[in-house]
Amino acid sequence: MSVTVGGEETAGTSSSHATTQTMVRATWRGGRKFEVGGSSGATIVIDGDRVAGTGPVDTLLGALAACAGPEIIDYLAKRRTPVASLDIVIDAERRGSAPRRVLGARLEIRMEGTGIDPAHATRAIDLAFRKYCSVSASLAPDILIDTQLVLNGESHEAYRVDTHSEVGNDND
């Protein structure tokens, strides 16, 4: 059994926003396991039993971190304060009964790097989740995302990211 998911422009899509297509194939490998791959040819195993691979929700949360992480790194590199290490730990709250959707997530963003200003790191995190990360933009608007920056071992003020608010034209 194969399931193919493809993006398609729909009626009502603003003509000011160009669309792109994304194609992913999920092939059943027995039990609750699927081999999932995109056009690059690389595949991962997603396992509903979380034995042979991460589960679907863990995969979603990992995709959120893997989507925002490079944006954070790129922003700080442009400021000439490169990140030496980045670790994003996500603790999510899920609904108790089916569908056991994600209701909210707390992201602890642990970052190391010489000369990184906490305000710049916070700005990078905010832009990553609100402007650049397509995974966060695809989440339901009622999912609450709280972030906590730990920069060079020092914890900074936590804040909530509104992933569905518009960001102005930033020249960062």
At residue 21, does pLDDT exceed 80?
yes
**How far apart, in whole angstroms, are the C-alpha atoms of residue 73 and residue 83?**
6
Indicate the CATH number of 56-161 among 3.30.300.20, 3.40.50.970, 3.40.50.300, 3.40.50.720: 3.30.300.20
Q: For the chain, how many residues are written?
A: 172
Asked if omega into 118 is within 30° of 0 (cis), the reply is no
**Beta carbons of 125 and 115 less than 8 angstroms apart:** no
At residue 79, does pLDDT exceed 90?
yes
Quickly list H helices, the chain: 56-78, 118-127, 134-138
pLDDT, residue 5, reads: 52
Q: What is the mean pLDDT of residues 105-123?
A: 97
Given pLDDT bands bounded at 50, 70 and 90, which one contains residue 142? very high
Given pLDDT bands bounded at 50, 70 and 90, which one contains residue 162? confident
**How far apart, in whole angstroms, are the C-alpha atoms of residue 158 and residue 137?**
20
Cross-strand bridge partners of residue 27: 2, 35
Here the tokens at position 94 are 């899920």
Whole-angstrom CA distances from 72 to 22, 27, 100, 129 are 23, 33, 30, 9
Q: Of 48, 4, 53, which is closest to residue 26 (Cα–Cα)?
A: 4
**Beta carbons of 36 and 55 less than 8 angstroms apart:** no
Q: Rounded to a whole number, what is the distance in angstroms from the first to the last CA of the chain?
A: 46
Q: What is the mean pLDDT of residues 56-83?
A: 97
The per-residue pLDDT of the chain, averaged, comes to: 89
The full set of domain ranges for the chain reads 2-47, 56-161
**Beta carbons of 38 and 23 less than 8 angstroms apart:** yes
The position carrying tokens 């399931």 is 3
Q: Using one digit for the tens of pLDDT, what is the confidence trace for 115-134?
A: 999 999 999 999 999 999 99
